[in-house]
Amino acid sequence: MEIIIIVIIVFWIIGKFADSSESNYSYDNSSTSYPSNPTLSIRKSQDEREGRWYVVKLRGFFPFKVDGSYNFVYSLLDTTDGDDNAHPAFTFVPQLQEDDNMAFQFVNEGVYIPAYGGWEDYTQAFQIPVDLLSLAKKGKRRLTLILRIYPQYVNTFDINFGFGGESAIFHLTKDFTFDYQNPGYEEISENKENIVKYSIELAISMANIDGNYDNQEKEIIKEWITQNSKTFNEDLKEWQHDSELIEIFEEAYEHALQEIVNQNLPISEILNNLKQIADTKSKHDAIDLCYKVLAADGNMDREESNLIKFIADELEIQQEELLAMQDQYIISMSITEKSHTEEDINSILGITNEMSRGEKIHKLKEDFSKWNSRLNVVSSQEEKDNAQAMIDLISKELTKLR
């Protein structure tokens, strides 16, 4: 699981920008004798160890008549559909957002520029962490980077979602293309209803795998529908239930129930549809719902386990991530040799026939350490017993292999 704790993000980004703010804004008086207009250059960074970055460089001389310090404010717009139909680019990184929203903004404060001064050679200004952007649509996108310069005393900028900036004393733009591989926020929003519908269909398929759709499973799906029928009320600043959405989802639920009775709920088709429109989080949410349904009876057999693995494979969720999600539910299930077949147990433990003996031993040893450390963390006796049962299962499997 690729997790970046916020503290790391912050150090990482500050580290990236620190160099630029210290050295890149030095200037050369003599350069004023080689006047050129300011221009931006954007190149993909070759170093991809920490994700993909686009390096922004700046050169040229500014038409400022007096020496002074300025705030350099960079915004990003998705202009694929034309400048008149531009969309904001968002980011999850708080340090790279506008004050009141999540639109991308990077500010380099107090840059000293002498009269008619600047940079003769391209000098790095900052880097754009493109993997941490959220764009309107999936695919090859044209992005426009906008540099707006304000006097240093101006620290509230007339920029909203990347638009505006009329009071800036200088503007500069540069286009570049970027292949955005996730579903865009507009697509997700447009498809939210369908994503929820497909997730409900998947959950009902999961519930029905044993041919018995019971009340507990029904409750879980209904509760999930309620949770996913909330919309954010901008005026009240709170999440509220959307009765229209509830109605749509209830209908989808009833329809799926009917289809399953008619044996007309082809799981591959649902998965294919979901895969086309869902972002990673929605895929995780769908699998999480399936696990909730699966765990409702406190049991997990091989068929259920295989189905959820199939779903995860189709949705391109890594096996490692799937097992991490599974663990959250295993802790509330009692899995023992008495209640499960050896095949069920191997499936739950992620042991496959394709694995070599060495790989199986390695995996089981890691799982032993994992569950042993969890014994100290879980609080209820039931969870402790379930964790202990996992330790016993793992060591029994290992005994057979050693």
Q: Dig out the tokens for 325 from the structure.
A: 């999600």
Q: Does 4 participate in binding another protein (rule CB under 8 A)?
A: yes
Residue 134 C-beta: closest distance to another protein, Å: 8
Q: Does 277 bind another protein (CB under 8 A)?
A: no
Residue 377 beta carbon to another protein: minimum distance, rounded to whole angstroms: 5
> Is position 304 an interface residue for another protein (rule: CB under 8 A)?
no
Residue partners of 162: CB distance under 8 A and separation at least 6: 75, 76, 77, 86, 88, 89, 98, 103, 104, 105, 146
List the structure tokens of 396.
């029994």
Residue 207: both structure tokens together: 């519930």
Tell me the window of 139-147, 171-179, 219-227, 280-288 that interacts with another protein (CB under 8 A).
280-288
Q: How far is the CB of 34 from another protein (least distance, A)?
A: 38
Q: Which residues, other chains included, contact 3 with Cβ-Cβ below 8 Å and sequence gap of 6+?
A: none
- For residue 139, the Cα-to-chain-centroid distance in whole angstroms is 16
**For residues 117 and 183, which CB has a smaller minimum distance to another protein in the complex?**
183
Residue 99 or 269: which CB sits closer to another protein? 99
> DSSP assignment of 89-144, as one string?
-EES-GGGB-SSSSBBEEEEEEEEE-TT-EEEEEEEEEEEEGGGEE-SSSEEEEEE
Kindly indicate which of the ranges 217-225, 266-274, 301-309, 394-402 contains the residues binding another protein, using the contact rule CB under 8 A: 394-402
318 binds another protein (CB under 8 A): yes
In the DSSP assignment, the letter for residue 363 is: H
The smaller minimum CB distance to another protein, of residues 76 and 394, is found at 394
Residue 280 as a binder of another protein (CB under 8 A): the answer is yes
DSSP category for residue 33: G
**What element of type H or E holds 204?**
helix 185-207
CB-based burial label for 275 (10 Å; 0-12, 13-18, 19+) = middle
Q: Which of 123, 182, 194, 216 is in the footprint of another protein by CB under 8 A?
A: 182
| Binding range to another protein, per CB under 8 A, among 58-66, 149-157, 260-268, 275-283 | 275-283
Phi, psi of 353 (to 5 degrees): -65, -25
Shortest Cβ distance from residue 316 to another protein (Å)?
Answer: 11
Task: State how far the alpha carbon of 68 is from the alpha carbons of 36, 156, 241, in Å.
Answer: 19, 18, 53
According to the binding rule CB under 8 A, does residue 391 interact with another protein?
Answer: yes
Minimum gap (Å) between residue 109 Cβ and another protein: 13
Q: By CB under 8 A, tell whether 279 contacts another protein.
A: yes
Span near another protein by CB under 8 A; candidates 42-50, 155-163, 194-202, 279-287:
279-287
Subset of 89-148 contacting another protein (CB under 8 A): 92-95, 99, 131-132, 134
Question: What part of residues 342-381 is at the interface with another protein (CB under 8 A)?
Answer: 365, 368-370, 372-377, 379, 381
Task: Evaluate whether 325 touches 305 at the Cβ level (below 8 Å).
Answer: no
User: For binding to another protein (CB under 8 A), which residues are involved?
Assistant: 1-11, 92-95, 99, 131-132, 134, 182, 279-281, 284, 318, 321, 324, 328, 365, 368-370, 372-377, 379, 381, 384, 388, 391-392, 395-396, 398-399, 402
